[in-house]
Amino acid sequence: MKRILVVDDEEDICEILKFNLEFAGYEVDVAFSAEEALLLNISSYHLLLLDVMMGEMSGFSLAAQLKKNDSTAHIPIIFVTAKDAENDMLTGFNLGADDYVSKPFRVSEILARVKAILRRVPLHDNPTSSLPNNDHLCECDGLVVDEISMLVKLNEQEIVLTKKEFVLLLFLMKNEGKVFSREQIIEQVWTDDVTVLERSVDVTVARLRKKIGSHADYIVSRSGYGYCFKKPN
């Protein structure tokens, strides 16, 4: 799962962004100052959302410091700030920012920009993380998904999936127990398609269930909500 750090001294902004980003399927942490952010393992995040005007250390100063560090220089940055003058935007981009969003913002705009940037960040691209060597594997009762080799096995037998089926299974397993609407699944799985009907999700789920056989019941339908991956009771 992609990890995002939100750094903003306005708690309401942090709460809004955290709630909506988590609902979109990301793992989100917040820090209420640049100094607080520096106490975290920033190299473990895939994207940073930074306010500019914060206490003693600004978002610009934090970004400049991170870009000088080999372990954090590669992390994409989106500035989310009320400083929307042209010179401020140029400063942000000159510091290596990937995007710049002015306050007040629309949540849908933030989500769209986050999604666009994270498309180019591989799911397993986290070289400085302290996760174990098998963090690229998702496993549940003999069903194993390897996101590096792109293989799926059930009780040691390989299962052949289409790209969409593989990405869907991986996404649901990485978020075990969490229900996603069809619209959310389309955003995560059909990222390269302009128009996709919600019916496509149902058809893909049906094909996937058939292919994983004995584990079909692990993909649970929540009427009126969507789907999740969950071990049967």
Exposure of 127 by Cβ count < 10 A (0-12 exposed, 13-18 middle, 19+ buried)?
A: exposed
CA distance linking residue 79 with residue 7, whole number of Å: 10
pLDDT in tens, 164-192: 898 899 999 989 999 999 988 888 888 66
The mean pLDDT value of the chain amounts to: 84
Integer CA distances (angstroms), 215 to 15, 72, 160, 167, 189, in order: 37, 40, 15, 17, 21
pLDDT attached to residue 69:
85
CA distance linking residue 222 with residue 181, whole number of Å: 9
Report the candidate in 201, 17, 222, 171 with the shortest Cα–Cα distance to residue 106: 17
pLDDT attached to residue 119:
81
- Mean pLDDT across 100-105: 83
pLDDT attached to residue 143:
93
Residue 60: which residues within 8 A CB-CB, separation 6 or more? 52, 91, 92, 95
Instruction: Give the E-state strand segments of 116-194 in sequence order.
Output: 137-140, 143-146, 151-154, 157-159
pLDDT attached to residue 125:
45
Indicate whether 136 pLDDT > 90.
no
What is the pLDDT confidence band of residue 140, given thresholds at 50, 70 and 90? Answer: very high
pLDDT attached to residue 85:
52
Indicate whether 92 pLDDT > 70.
no
ω before 104 within 30° of 0 (cis)?
yes
Residue 115: which residues within 8 A CB-CB, separation 6 or more? 24, 187, 191
Contact 226, 154 (CB under 8 A): no
Indicate whether 193 pLDDT > 60.
no
Contact 57, 37 (CB under 8 A): no
Report the candidate in 57, 42, 24, 160 with the shortest Cα–Cα distance to residue 6: 42
- Mean pLDDT across 16-35: 92
CA distance linking residue 155 with residue 210, whole number of Å: 16
CA distance linking residue 127 with residue 43, whole number of Å: 9
Indicate whether 231 pLDDT > 70.
yes
pLDDT attached to residue 83:
63
What is the pLDDT confidence band of residue 133, given thresholds at 50, 70 and 90? Answer: very low
Helix (H) or strand (E) holding 59: helix 59-67
Q: Is the pTM higher than 0.75?
A: no
Indicate whether 204 pLDDT > 80.
yes
